[in-house]
Copies of this chain bind each other. A is one copy, B any other.
């Protein structure tokens, strides 16, 4: 079986005994077509096995039916076996799942676009051209110029996670401060006296917000100062931080950890140190990733509704595509506390 020429509109038209234009109308569901011809056309389509050529269509409509998922790799360039750290992080998969849940029923394609430190202009060029109708942008380094470029090129785009500097571009984000406050309230409720925290890297905005949210809420509960240790969101750094904290503050009885993976590490260290959880020490994580469930005891954590956020981002992008003059908007999601067994 050779890769012979596929049937075109022309072929269908010939078979149905009508013109290209009519077939096109029928295919695209435009009314004003005699039911009789309508019928003829469809049978001709079936008979020829016609499938519209997407590129030809896109060329004239200026619509690709594709949105790009842009991920930055400027942070993970050449140490790891290529990006494996990022892609194998459940974060990525959760976003893809969320996007797909709204894109797929509508027949919209998702194309992966990676952009390095250099490729910004190329990306914008590609986007303005035929690559995609719009973009969902993920996980940018703190002061990435991309949001600005997108905004000024007038490319439909939605960020997941707000940009570091204010930029006229739509985004979805999580109320990280509120989430941290939830954790703080829980800790207070459990009657903790000597809370400590393990924070994330200071260059990621979400991390900063979690710290400040937690501090502020704890202050309301009468804890003016919270000893903290800085991790980098890996389990390893969680262990290290916990050990340091334990050494400096042996009497600690509560710890807020800025993400679940680090919390997993902290739990291990606490366990090895002979602390009973939650009796001696209560622990609250952040994200409600799959790690939270596999922790022992199962981790009490702040749920980050990433799938929902991604789905909303997709919806926002789509509606922007339908109405190019739509205003820039943002949606902030409220986290919730998932009570399991560590606090």
Contact = CB atoms under 8 A, between A and B. Distances in A.
Interface of A: 1-3, 6, 49, 51-56, 58-59, 64, 66, 81-84, 86-90, 92-94, 96-98, 100-101, 104, 109-114, 125-126, 128-131, 152-154, 235, 261, 264-265, 268, 290-291, 293-294, 296, 307, 324
Nearest to A126: B51
Contacts of A114: 100, 104
Query: Ordered nearest first, which 3 A-B pairs have the shortest CB separation?
Result: A87-B97, A54-B130, A51-B125
Contacts of A294: 235, 261, 264-265, 291, 294
Contacts of A92: 93, 96
B66 A111 contact: yes
Given A93-B93, A100-B82, A294-B264, A131 B109 contact: yes
B307 A84 contact: yes
Contact of A129 (B52, B112, B126): B52
Copies per assembly: 2
A56 B111 CA distance: 18
A51 B110 CA distance: 22
Contacts of A109: 111-113, 131
A274 B98 CA distance: 41
A100 B83 contact: yes
Contacts of A6: 128-129
A297 to B, nearest CB: 10
Interface centre among A51, A154, A291 (most CB of B within 10 A): A51
Nearest to A128: B6
Interface centre among A49, A83, A86, A126 (most CB of B within 10 A): A83
Contacts of A130: 53-56, 58
11 contacts: A2-B154, A3-B324, A54-B126, A54-B129, A59-B59, A82-B101, A88-B93, A92-B96, A109-B131, A111-B111, A265-B294
Contacts of A324: 3
Nearest to A109: B111
Contact of A296 (B66, B81, B97, B268): B268
A125 B54 CA distance: 11
B97 A88 contact: yes
Interface centre among A87, A92, A153, A268 (most CB of B within 10 A): A87
Contacts of A96: 87, 92, 112
A97 B82 contact: yes
Given A109-B111, A110-B112, A294-B294, 6 more contacts: A51-B126, A53-B130, A56-B130, A87-B94, A87-B100, A291-B294
Contacts of A131: 54, 109
A338 to B, nearest CB: 14
Contact of A154 (B1, B100, B235): B1
Contacts of A89: 93
Given A55-B64, A111-B112, A154-B1, A307 B81 contact: yes
A129 B50 CA distance: 10
A265 to B, nearest CB: 8
